């Protein structure tokens, strides 16, 4: 069910919705290697292109360096009611990796993951920001107490620490943490489902997103806006069915610029990891000229998503 080389624990009963991204299907565009992360299979075949040994060595080294900057799948804890790292988790971690140098320059002091699930993403973030040392601290929340526990185990297995809280998004924290979080990462429940499945007990809460998969996403934005510091960045996974163009337009009205950091398509759907930051707060030159309008690949959206957009 998870594809060759992937984790084997089946997640039964995740229904497919028409036009939705199926979180349980194998995804041909991101084949997994033994380590379960796309980076593990990113090495070029030596025979497929002319490479000298030296170049191959450097590619190998670069790939290993990338690999060591994410959590190890073998160390990620699991539970039958907790969503395991899947393509969307890998897309989010790859987006953070792609933006890693900016993140290091950004020098965040407090980072937070909303909906931490297995803990793979927050652990990866802590690993890739490792060189910032003990000047950065992490919070992770999940509505599912089993997920909070699994996240703690995953962090411990990597020798990391984040403050894990079992709560709905950031309930109980957002008042006191308002304006303090420099990096918020979210892989929200984005699968279009009937409204009554949103926030259900157990693993359902990890994917059930209500109408257009937007019910929880639309609750997260004002909370993230409250939590983010003046220089804060938000990274969020969305699906074409969530109408990300409209999401970005809505955030623009709140004063946020945005850009797509990672875009991935499966046969059925397309995932985007979008980065948001307060427009006018230019923290590094690479971000200064970005705008959602110039970044958004409208054409490819319409081509790939058909009627579901």
H/E element, 230: strand 228-239
Sequence-distant (6+) residues with CB within 8 A of 225 are 254, 256
Whether the CB-CB separation of 237 and 269 falls below 8 Å is answered with no
Q: Strand pairing partners for 236? A: 186, 274
Residue 18 makes contact with another protein by CB under 8 A: no
Candidate ranges 54-62, 85-93, 113-121, 134-142; the one touching another protein (CB under 8 A): 134-142
Contact 33, 4 (CB under 8 A): no
143 touches another protein by CB under 8 A: yes
| Residues in 177-196 at the binding interface with another protein, rule: CB under 8 A | 177, 180
Q: Is 159 in the site for another protein (CB under 8 A)?
A: no
Q: With binding defined as CB under 8 A, does residue 133 bind another protein? A: yes
CB of 197 to another protein, least distance (A): 16
Residue 106: how many other CB atoms lie within 10 Å: 20
- 216 lies in the site for another protein, by CB under 8 A: no
Q: Is 172 a binder of another protein (CB under 8 A)? A: yes
Q: Provide the pairing of β-strand 163-166 with 110-114.
A: unpaired
Strand 181-186 to strand 270-278: parallel, antiparallel, or no bridges (unpaired)? unpaired
Report the nearest approach of another protein to the CB of residue 139 (Å): 7
Stretch of 23-31, 81-89, 131-139, 268-276 contacting another protein, by CB under 8 A: 131-139
39, 70 Cβ separation under 8 angstroms: yes
Distances (CA, A) of 78 to 108, 119, 151: 29, 10, 9
Q: In whole angstroms, what separates CA 276 from the centre of its chain?
A: 13
Segment 92-111, which members bind another protein (CB under 8 A)?
Answer: 109
Cβ(292)–Cβ(259) under 8 Å? yes
Residue 166 beta carbon to another protein: minimum distance, rounded to whole angstroms = 4
> What is the closest distance, in whole angstroms, from the C-beta atom of residue 174 to another protein in the complex?
9
Pick one of 173, 203, 234, 274: the residue that binds another protein (CB under 8 A): 173
Q: Taking a C-beta distance cutoff of 8 angstroms, is the pair 289, 273 a contact?
A: no
* Complex with another protein: residue 66 or 152, whichever CB lies closer: 152
Contact between 152 and another protein (CB under 8 A)? yes
Q: Which residue do the tokens 């009627």 mark?
A: 307
Query: Shortest gap between Cβ of 138 and another protein (angstroms)?
Result: 11
> Minimal distance in Å, beta carbon 207 to another protein?
19
| Contact pattern from residue 52 through residue 91 relative to another protein, giving x for each residue in contact according to CB under 8 A and a dash for the rest | ----------------------------------------
Of 244, 242, 284, the residue nearest 260 (C-alpha): 244
**Considering the rule CB under 8 A, would residue 273 count as an interface residue with another protein?**
no
For 46, the token pair is 């030596």
User: Where does this chain bind another protein (CB under 8 A)?
Assistant: 109, 133-137, 139, 143, 145, 148-149, 152, 163-168, 171-173, 175-177, 180
């Amino acid at each position: 069910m998870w594809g060759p080389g992937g984790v084997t624990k089946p997640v039964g009963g995740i229904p497919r919705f028409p036009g939705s991204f199926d979180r349980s299907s194998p995804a041909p565009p991101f084949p997994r290697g033994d380590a379960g992360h796309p980076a593990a299979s990113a090495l070029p075949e030596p025979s497929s292109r002319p490479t000298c040994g030296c170049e191959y060595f450097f590619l190998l080294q670069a790939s290993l360096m990338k690999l060591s900057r994410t959590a190890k799948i073998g160390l990620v804890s699991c539970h039958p009611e907790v969503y395991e790292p899947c393509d969307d988790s890998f897309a989010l971690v790859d987006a953070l990796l792609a933006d890693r140098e900016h993140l290091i320059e950004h020098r965040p002091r407090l980072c937070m993951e909303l909906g931490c699930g297995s803990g793979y993403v927050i652990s990866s973030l802590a690993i890739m920001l490792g060189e910032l040392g003990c000047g950065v601290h992490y919070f992770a929340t999940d509505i599912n107490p089993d997920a909070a526990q699994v996240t703690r185990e995953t962090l411990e297995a990597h020798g990391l620490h984040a403050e894990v809280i079992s709560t709905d998004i950031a309930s109980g924290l957002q008042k006191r943490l308002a304006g303090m979080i420099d990096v918020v990462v979210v892989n929200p429940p984005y699968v279009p489902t009937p409204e009554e499945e949103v926030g259900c007990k157990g693993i359902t809460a990890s994917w059930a997103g209500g109408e257009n998969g937007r019910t929880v996403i639309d609750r997260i934005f004002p909370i993230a806006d409250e939590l983010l510091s003046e220089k804060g960045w938000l990274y969020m996974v969305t699906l074409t069915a969530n109408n990300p163009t409209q999401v970005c337009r809505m955030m623009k009205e709140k004063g946020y610029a945005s850009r797509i950091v990672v875009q991935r398509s499966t046969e059925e759907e397309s995932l985007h990891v979008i980065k948001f930051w307060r427009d006018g707060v230019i923290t590094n030159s690479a971000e200064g000229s970005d705008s959602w309008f110039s970044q958004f690949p409208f054409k490819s959206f319409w081509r790939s998503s058909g009627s579901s957009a």
